[in-house]
A and B are shown apart, each in its own frame.
Chain A
Amino acid sequence: MKYSLSSIACVCLLAGCASQPTLNNSAGRATVYQDVNSVSSTMAGVGMESQDIVSMTDKMVRDILSNPQIAGRSTPARVIVDSAYFTNDSSSRINKNLITDRLRVELNRAAAGRLVFVARHYGSMVANERDAKRAGERDGGTIRSTKAVAGGDFRLGGRIASMDANQRSTGMVSRYHQITFELVDLEYETIPWSGIYEFRKEAQDDILYR
């Protein structure tokens, strides 16, 4: 009798263990602010992520501001920083504006007047307003009027490139990213400043997905 009872208990226990969940009844999770410099604990791959963008733009800001040809001129240089000539030649899908916008904003903030940023990406907005002012649809505003909009001295160019590798036996995936940044002299076609940021990520997916 003693064995029979224990058997029944074991059988019930095992039957319970084997049942499949059909409903996710978790209580959910409240919104939590995550540090943009940290790696996601729940989802991370070998592509470019927030911490990479923050690190690379911070490094480029420091580098550009330490270059006397760009940031040490008596008359602040006019710089165009946008994604028009910043190409993605990698296997990572990315919104390039995330990089160039952060670079421009941080550079503008840290330069504190040592550089002047030309808003070429707002060109149509400015043109519309200027046209309306000159046509008399709007008054002249309070700043000033200029014959033309600002011409640039330097413009950002660059490329995101990557190289992938994988090992079938282990499911290990590796991606090397190389991001080059260059400021091009818009008169003389030279490159007074270049910067490079590179990183390689490796990850191994669960055996279930290999």
Chain B
Amino acid sequence: MTSCTVKRCAALALLACMASGAAHADYAAERSRLKSAVPKDAVLYTLQAGVAALAEKQDGEAAALFDSALDKIEGMYANTESAARARSLWYEEGAKDFKGEPYERAMAFYYRGLLYLAEGDYENARASFRGGLLQDAFAEEDQNRADFASLMLLEGWANQLNGDAAQAADAYKEVTALRTGFVAPPEGANLLIVAELGGSPRKLGDGIGNAEIVYRRAKRTPERSATVTLDGQPQALLPMEDLYYQAITRGGRPIDRIINGKVAFAATTAKVGDVLGTIASEGNVLRAAYGGTSGRALGGLAAVGAIASVISANVKPRADVRYWNNLPESLHIQALRASAAPRDIAALLKDEAGNPVALDTVVIRQFRDKNGNGLVWIKSRH
């Protein structure tokens, strides 16, 4: 990696132009959040700090942060205390150590892979992209499994740079099946442009006790496409990934059944509490009117009813809605052959209708690895 340039763009020109200057990403704040995070949130803040570090040219730290997060993501959590707690009635799912949903885990591998590409370590870049693809293999419906086309393309690119032409061709073939209009990078291509547009998909709680996760697109992020100009030559980028789509097509999670069980348990115990409370209350009225010796039994019923109500109130069915908040909404990629490293790079962002989008948060970085291959990384928001 020999050259890196971070740049913020002049809003008036509607262009992101390469120049010196600090990026807007606040790595210091993310690092501070990470330091004060409770252990169960550590991976989440590590990932967010990793992206911020990358945007602020702290590549060594970004790599270390993603390595740390991936160690946890790849590690198998069996019989851990936090997992047992999250499964119990009395804790919400968010009590578990955060590892993210599959689209978030895949993106952790994506960023680590990009950093390996920037170093010229194509083999580990390929391993990273493959690791990300594996995270996408758990979708409920077949057609949504392993459909992360951008990671396939990046795996192909790593293969191509590594001289593994046959494996590159296989990967590009898979991308072609998923993305119409995709054309494999030409032989001798030496520059990859990756643009990350928009904001992260949001997770919201929905349903009884917020027991369901629903996804929403980021608000007020109109940019949908990008054209990059390299030394005055425009290059259209192919829309390769919609992370929101990846998030919503994951399908049902096995944990949802446990959460639904918590909801059902809470509802049943609440009903039991109500019924017993009502019986005890009405019994007391009848006892007062007609006399009798059932006072102790009715008191017992009232106590059990109260306990049931308390149990119901303390069941925590809330789903885990923590999400990686500095992910993009979409990825746009192009690979090409460049005779020399571009000196002037600009990005024109457009909304759904094709109107220019003015932003002052765009980061443009250029990396050149030890073999002379380039990577241009653009992020519209951070």
Contacts and interface: CB of A to CB of B under 8 A. Distances in A.
Contacts of A88: 123-124, 126-127
Interface string B62-79: 000000001110111110
B303 A14 contact: no
A207 B254 contact: yes
A142 interface: no
Contact of A18 (B90, B99, B130): B90
Interface stretch (A5-13, A114-122, A143-151, A192-200): A5-13
B127 A3 contact: no
How extensive is the interface on chain A, given as a class?
Answer: 35 or more
A17 interface: yes
B344 to A, nearest CB: 34
A82 to B, nearest CB: 15
Interface in B118-165: 123-124, 126-128, 130-131, 134, 137-140, 145, 164
A88 B311 CA distance: 54
B83 A93 contact: no
Task: Tell which of A23, A44, A46, A89 has the most Cβ of chain B within 10 Å.
Answer: A89
Given A3-B303, A18-B316, A43-B75, A208 B134 contact: no
A15 B83 CA distance: 21
Interface string A174-210: 0000000000000000000000000000011111111
A62 to B, nearest CB: 27
Interface stretch (B175-183, B241-249, B294-302, B368-376): B294-302
Interface in A36-75: 43-47
Interface in A16-33: 17-18, 20-24
Contacts of A91: 127, 130-131, 134
B32 interface: no
A206 B134 contact: no
Given A10-B307, A11-B306, A24 B38 contact: yes
Nearest to B98: A209
A164 B145 CA distance: 14
Contacts of A207: 87, 254-255, 258
Task: Tell which of B253, B254, B316 has the most Cβ of chain A within 10 Å.
Answer: B254
B134 A164 contact: yes
B22 interface: no
Task: Tell which of A3, A17, A44, A93 has the most Cβ of chain B within 10 Å.
Answer: A93
A94 interface: yes
B265 interface: no
B78 A20 contact: no
A44 B307 contact: no
Given A3-B299, A208-B86, A210-B255, A168 B77 contact: no
Contacts of B116: 93
Contacts of A47: 74
A188 B142 CA distance: 50
Contacts of A21: 38
Interface in B273-322: 296, 299-300, 302-303, 306-307, 310-311, 314, 316
Given A45-B75, A91-B131, A166 B138 contact: yes
Contact of B255 (A17, A90, A92, A208): A208
A205 B86 contact: no
A5 to B, nearest CB: 9
Contact of A166 (B80, B137, B299, B302): B137
A209 B77 contact: yes
A23 to B, nearest CB: 7
B96 interface: yes
Contacts of B92: 20
A44 B76 contact: yes
Interface string B254-270: 11001000000000000
Interface in B34-88: 38-39, 70-72, 74-78, 80, 83, 86-87
Contact of B307 (A14, A20, A166, A168): A14
A171 B254 CA distance: 9
Contacts of A124: none
Given A90-B127, A93-B112, A93-B116, 15 more contacts: A11-B306, A14-B307, A14-B314, A24-B38, A88-B123, A88-B124, A92-B127, A93-B70, A164-B134, A168-B138, A206-B83, A208-B83, A208-B96, A209-B96, A210-B254
* Shortest 8 CB-CB contacts between residues of A and residues of B: A18-B314, A91-B130, A7-B303, A203-B76, A88-B123, A43-B75, A45-B74, A206-B83
